[in-house]
Each structure stands twice: as structure tokens, then as C-alpha cells.
Amino acid sequence: MAKLYFYYGAMNSGKTTRILQCEYNYKEQGMRAIIMKPEIDTKGNNKIVSRIGAVKKVDYMIKKDENVFDLIINEYGHVDLILVDEAQFLTERQVNQLMDIVVDLDIPVMCYGLRTDFKGHSFPGSRRLLDIAHELTEIKTICECGKKAMFNVRLINGKVATEGESVAIDGVGEVKYTVACAKCFSMKTRKKFDEMSDD
Ligand SMILES: [Zn+2]
């Protein structure tokens, strides 16, 4: 029986490398894997780039209100595997539709994405995947102090940002990210975890 998988981690944990490797393995076995990615801006960033330099054009960019279940039925028919990069940007409904693909069409779906944003809150897509995926796998990466990095820190022009939208908007300066363990995240953002509460 097919399953819905969620591989989650902080940034730069090698998620994209795994996607490319997985697609390659399927192809080598004569099977068909497709790579999809939610469209989050108008830049048409339809490539995935791994840390080790491999670049690949994704097969399909998922639009914000698109029904992914219908898309697979109408445009693809049977595939052996669906890989989703940047799965944190899926909507809750799209994650549910991916589960329908798994259950009704018996196609395994492997989603890769960030657990939380730079403010330490889960993205809607990640939250739903953490709710319903059959299998959850944390992809670990390391903080500069040597502990496991769980958080993403947004740097704007080299300074740590603690406010702003989950997706950085163009034109605010040079946006970069780094990863941190819980303790370093608290220190870098100069916030206790209780101060990060929504209420
Ligand atoms: Zn640390």
C-alpha cells in the first residue's frame, strides 16, 4: 500500500539532494517519478537546486488554489512516485488531496519541506503533513554550536529578523537564512520561547 511521507528539517539539510537522488533511482529502475513544487511567487522559479550544485527543472509548479488530485488524474495518469519540494508552502487542502492520491490512486507521495518558519511557527503545509502523513522523518542538520539545528534564522542585510511574513518579500534587502538549535535560536533572536507565542 502506498504511503504519504513527510521528510522535514531546517534549511540546508540536504532535502533537495535527496529528491534528486530518489528521482534518479526510480528512473534507473524504469519507473516514472515526477517532481512538483508549490508556486509561491511570480518569479517562476521552476528549478530545484541542491546544495551540492545539482540543478533540475521541476515537472510541475502547483498553483495556490490548484486541486492536486484532479491534476494527477487529468494530466498525468499513472506515475510511480510523486516528489514534492518546498512542501511547507502547500495549503492544508492540497496536503489532503495528496493523501487522496495515496489512498485512492495507490501512488506514494514523498513531501520534503521545512518544519517551521524563521519565527519558529509551522507552515500550513508542514502542519497538515505532521498531522496526517503515514511516515515522518526528520532530516538532521547541525547548528554552529554542534547541536542539532531545528530552527531557521532569517538575516536581512546580515541582521537577524524577528518580524515579517513567512515568505520574504523582494526588495527588503539581502535575505539569507542560517540554521540554529533551540538555544542559539533564542539567543540570536533575543527572545525567550514564550515571547514567540502568537497570543
Ligand atoms: Zn546552537
State the distance from the centre of ligand 1 to the C-alpha of 54, rounded, in angstroms.
28
Rounded distance between C-alpha atoms, residue 81 and residue 123, angstroms: 24
3-state secondary structure of 64: coil
Rounded distance between C-alpha atoms, residue 95 and residue 106, angstroms: 15
Tell how far CA 119 is from the center of its chain: 16
Question: What integer pLDDT is reported at residue 78 of this predicted model?
Answer: 86
State the distance from the centre of ligand 1 to the C-alpha of 136, rounded, in angstroms.
23
State the distance from the centre of ligand 1 to the C-alpha of 153, rounded, in angstroms.
12
Domain 4-140, what fold? Rossmann fold (3.40.50)
Mark the residues whose beta carbon lies below 5 A from ion ligand 1.
Answer: 143, 145, 147, 181, 184
Q: Where in the chain is the domain with CATH 3.40.50.300?
A: 4-140
Question: What integer pLDDT is reported at residue 125 of this predicted model?
Answer: 97
DSSP 164: S
Are 10 and 152 in contact by the 8 Å Cβ rule? The answer is yes
Rounded distance between C-alpha atoms, residue 141 and residue 150, angstroms: 8
Rounded distance between C-alpha atoms, residue 30 and residue 85, angstroms: 22
Grid coordinates representing 93 are: 487542502
For the chain, the average pLDDT equals 92
Grid coordinates representing 126 are: 508542514
- Residues designated as active site: 86
Question: What integer pLDDT is reported at residue 44 of this predicted model?
Answer: 53
Cβ neighbours around 20 below 10 Å, total: 19
DSSP 196: G
Q: Which residues contact 184 (CB under 8 A, 6 or more apart)?
A: 143, 144, 145, 147
* Positions of the chain with pLDDT lower than 70, given as ranges: 41-44, 169-170, 199
Question: What integer pLDDT is reported at residue 55 of this predicted model?
Answer: 81
State the distance from the centre of ligand 1 to the C-alpha of 140, rounded, in angstroms.
13
